Amino acid sequence: MEKIIPNVTDATWQSLVLKADGPVLVEFWAPWCGPCRMIHPVIGELAKQYTEKLTCFKLNTDESPSIASQYGVRSIPTIMIFNKGEKKDAVIGAVPKTSLENTIEKLL
C-alpha cells in the first residue's frame, strides 16, 4: 500500500522543501491531469520505499502556479528532487517507477 503524500503550497514551500534537512521529491501535478493520476501511486510507493532517506510532497500547479513557474514547469507531471534548497534533478512525464528509482539513487 502506498503512502499518502502531503501537499506543499506557496506558503509552505520555503520551510518544507528549501529548508528541509535531507533530499525532497516534489511531484508537480493538477487534478485534471490523467498522467498525474497514473503516477500518484508510484510516488506513494517511492515515499514508502525511501521513508528514511527522502521526503515526498506534491504541489498542485493550479493552486500554486508561481512555484511551478519559478522552476520552469511547463508540462505535468514533473518530478523534481531538491537537496539543501537546490534543484538537483527533474523528470518530466509519467515515467516507469524504475526510472524514478534510478534518478533518486543517483542523488542519495
DSSP bridge pairs for 58: 7, 27
- Mark whether 56 is an active-site residue: no
- Mark whether 33 is an active-site residue: yes
Compute φ and ψ for 28, nearest 5 degrees.
-90, 125
Question: Out of 17, 25, 36, 91, which one is annotated catalytic?
Answer: 36
Q: Position 18: which residue type?
A: L
Which string of b and e fits 63-95 if b means at least 16 CB within 10 Å?
Answer: ebeebbeeeebeebbbbbbbbeeeeeebbeebb
Angstrom distance (rounded) from CA 72 to CA 96:
22
Question: Out of 16, 25, 33, 54, which one is annotated catalytic?
Answer: 33
Task: Give the active site residues.
Answer: 33, 36
